A and B are shown apart, each in its own frame.
Chain A
Amino acid sequence: GESVGLHLPTLSVQEGDNSIINCAYSNSASDYFIWYKQESGKGPQFIIDIRSNMDKRQGQRVTVLLNKTVKHLSLQIAATQPGDSAVYFCAENMDDYKLSFGAGTTVTVRA
């Protein structure tokens, strides 16, 4: 079946460096993608989203890039901070009511 997946389950980053988290999707009909951050003991928290009519969207210290040609999504975090340590999920809008999540990437920030 079609699914959303993340390339790496873990990512270790030096504080102050930029982080890049990747995600591949296989449903070419998906038109809405979301990145969530989940800290230990909490529910997923919305970070940023992007619709398929865009290639790039920027937020505060975060940028999402969408490459529809190769069905690839990435989240870039600028100047990574200790508070960025968490599990990051990409989610794909399969239809108007269903989100399909990847397994997640655990980001650890080294001091």
Chain B
Amino acid sequence: EAQVTQNPRYLITVTGKKLTVTCSQNMNHEYMSWYRQDPGLGLRQIYYSMNVEVTDKGDVPEGYKVSRKEKRNFPLILESPSPNQTSLYFCASSSSRGETQYFGPGTRLLVL
């Protein structure tokens, strides 16, 4: 089954404790992206990747890092999480530029 998977689905952590949210897709998509979703703000793009070893900032990149060492994986790294990063995070992928993005199930993060 073609899908985008994220882990963990739920995470509670404390301020300053580094964490990584994994994202994997099995569709051989070139393009992958991370979004955060907050009430009343819709989805905002954090980072995106056009292909292996090629990444760029989205609208709200502060406090986040990403890497793309393999085509199928695109982890989101929070080096020192803060409470304002409490949010619902989505990973998405698409086959190429300008094509429909398919979303993962989401990761709900609470930073205390």
> Which residue from A36, A43, A96, A101 sits with its C-beta under 8 Å from B98?
A96
A43-B105, A46-B102, A49-B100 known; A97 and B42 CB under 8 Å?
A: no
A residues at B contact (CB < 8 Å): 31-32, 34, 36, 41-46, 49, 89, 91, 93, 96-99, 101-104
**Inside 8 A of A34's CB, which chain B residues have their CB?**
100-101
A97 x B31 contact (CB < 8 A): yes
Distance in angstroms between the alpha carbons of A93 and B40 in the assembled complex: 20
B43 within 8 A of A: yes
B103 within 8 A of A: yes
A93-B98, A99-B45 known; A45 and B40 CB under 8 Å?
A: no
Question: Residue among A34, A36, A44, A93 with the most chain B CB within 10 A?
Answer: A44
**Inside 8 A of B44's CB, which chain A residues have their CB?**
101
**Inside 8 A of A104's CB, which chain B residues have their CB?**
42
**Inside 8 A of B97's CB, which chain A residues have their CB?**
96-97
B38 to chain A, nearest CB (A): 10
Distance in angstroms between the alpha carbons of A10 and B63 in the assembled complex: 32
CB<8 Å pairs between A and B, sample of 12: A36-B103, A41-B106, A43-B4, A43-B104, A43-B105, A46-B102, A99-B33, A99-B101, A101-B35, A101-B42, A103-B41, A103-B42
How many A-B pairs with Cβ below 8 Å?
A: 52
Question: Residue among B42, B44, B100 with the most chain A CB within 10 A?
Answer: B42
A103 x B40 contact (CB < 8 A): yes
A42 x B45 contact (CB < 8 A): no
B22 to chain A, nearest CB (A): 15
Chain B's closest residue to A99 (CB) is B101
Distance in angstroms between the alpha carbons of A78 and B100 in the assembled complex: 23
A34-B100, A43-B103, A45-B103 known; A97 and B48 CB under 8 Å?
A: yes
Binary flags per residue of B64-106, CB closer than 8 Å to A gives 1, else 0: 0000000000000000000000000010100001101111111
